[in-house]
Amino acid sequence: MNPKLVDHLGVRLEAFVGDVRMTVAELMALRRDAVVPLDGGLARPVELRLNNVVVATGELVAVDDKLGVRLIEIAE
């Protein structure tokens, strides 16, 4: 297939920084300004996922007033 045929298609790339398991009661008890600790630390690599498939890993960086991901490894 010619890659130029799909170059214009949009995709959603998601950055996964961690997760947490909680009960429904804990979820329902959350209020504004609550902090939900994730299982990963600040040094843990961020996974970039495309359709739930990890396509790269990186580290969080500040880009002006936003967050970004500096790529460390790209999947083959």
| Structural domains in the chain, sorted by start | 3-74 (2.30.330.10)
pLDDT band per the 50, 70, 90 thresholds, residue 70: very high
pLDDT, one tens digit per residue, over 16-56 is 998 999 999 999 999 999 999 988 777 889 999 999 999 99
* Residue 43 pLDDT: 80
Tell me, yes or no, if the pTM score tops 0.75: no
CA 18 – CA 45 distance, rounded (Å): 9
For the record, the structure tokens of 44 come out as 């843990």
Residue 73, H or E segment: strand 66-74
